[in-house]
Every structure is written in structure tokens, then in C-alpha cells.
Amino acid sequence: MRVPTRPARDPAEITIERVSVLYALESEATPLVERLGLQEQPAVDPQLRPRHFAGTVGTLHVDLLTLGRDPRSGTERVGTDAATMGAYMGVRKLSPDLLLNAGTCGGFEAEGAAVGTIYVSRGDLLFHDRRIPIAAFRQQAEGRWPGTPAPRLAQAIGAREGVVSSGNSLDCLPGELEFMRRERVCAKDMEATAIAQVCVQCGVPFVAVKAVTDLVDHPEPVQDAFLRNLRMVSALLAERMEAGVRWLGAHPRRAGDL
């Protein structure tokens, strides 16, 4: 017997009652956990063991996940592979009405960024380091996964809107830099586009919120600026994310009204 299926939801019509916030680094996530008073929960996956915190903010149930640690090196998992796994676990286990990916990023002086600038994703999210010189594979290589427009959320957070591009390296090659310049990328990170890919295919609205720790088009090595600014920028990001989550929880909102 054929099992009837539920019609797919229009993501714009989804009422946001449950939000999942996905971070890569615990150092980025901890300030928001503390600000919102979230409580640690059992891991959503016993093998990969991402850390899971939860609580209620106004009308909103909030789940916050970090990506856990690499079992060999003990370092926190970063990059698109870990982000894909984390997003899929979060969507399947927690059934969010909205998934937010928050974290730090590289910015661009040419686009007016400085350390501490906050961006909310606008338009399609890109991959800048996937090179497949075959025409049929160009879109898959470059990503171009649509995020959920969120101008009101950006205003509530006090953020700019900008294009986000993801890759698996902290620095970038000249060809990647040229791609980002051509696409007017504002935020270069290591996770957001992979998460957007999962959310689009699962019908879950998605927004990235990124805070600049380093400037990609500045002569200082990005790793030096990243390590120096990580703690300060993570605290600033938590302050803005708290404002955004409380705005979402003030009363029920549809994804199309973000």
C-alpha cells in the first residue's frame, strides 16, 4: 500500500516556533549560551557528539549546536564536511522552523568591512574553492544555494546584509580571491554554504550571521588577526545574536517576514 505523503511546505509561510543555531567553535557559541541561559542537553548523535544546548526565549524554543571535536586531534570540527553533518543532524533530530548559522568570518576592506562588522547573508551563498572546469558542474561547484532574505532580522541585530562564500581553508588562493571580488563577497567563512545546501533540500529556512575577525584583502596574515580578535568578536556576535533571538521570540513570525 502506498503511504500518503504530506505536501511540501512553502518555506516563506513557515511560522517560526523552533530555531536551531549552529556554530562551529565552542568559543564562538559559549557567550550566547550564557546570555540566553541555555542548558546543556544529551548529544543529538552519540557517535559524533555535537554539543547541544536548549532553552526558551519568549515564544521561541531555541536549540544551539556546536560541531564537536575531531577524535584524532582533539580540535573543534570546522569546514564544510563537518557543517554538512551538523546541519543534517540538526534538521533531522530537532525539526527547526529556522536554522541560523552564526560564527566568525573574514571580511573585505574593499566592501567597507572592519574587525567587528556583522553581516546577515543576502542572496545566494557561494563556494569559492571548488574548481570543476566542466560547464555542467559549474553551479554545483559554486554552490549558489539561496538563503532566506532577512532584512528585518539584520536590522534587529544591527547588521549589514552581504554575500557569504564558504571554503575549507582559513586563507585563500589568488583565484579564489578574484572569484570573491567578482561576486562582491562580504563574508568569507568555512561552513555557511554547506549548511544552506542541506536546508534548501530539506525545506528549512536558513540565515547566516557572520562577524569579521580578519580582513582577507589586508596584508596581515589572516591567522594572526583571527587568533587576536576571536574572543572580542565572539562576545560582540553573542550580543547581537541575543538581540536577534529575542526579536524572533517577541511574537510568532513567519519566515517570509524576516
Q: In the numeric block, which cell numbers belong to residue 212?
A: 569579521
For the segment 125-136, the average pLDDT, to the nearest whole number, is 96
Residue boundaries of the structural domains of the chain: 13-257
Is the pLDDT reported for residue 2 higher than 60?
A: no
Could you tell me which of 139, 111, 152 has the C-alpha nearest to residue 200? 139
**CATH class of the domain whose range is 13-257:** alpha beta
Q: Which residues are catalytic?
A: 28, 214
Please give the mean pLDDT across all residues of the chain. 94
Cα(117)–Cα(234) distance, rounded to whole angstroms?
Answer: 11
**pLDDT digit string, tens, across residues 219-258:** 999 999 999 999 999 999 999 999 999 999 999 899 999 9
Q: How confident is the model at residue 47 (pLDDT cuts 50, 70, 90)?
A: confident
Cα(74)–Cα(117) distance, rounded to whole angstroms?
Answer: 30
Is the pLDDT reported for residue 10 higher than 90?
A: no
Is the pLDDT reported for residue 58 higher than 80?
A: yes
DSSP class of residue 96? -
Beta bridge partners of 63: 20, 54
Q: What pLDDT score does 8 carry?
A: 61
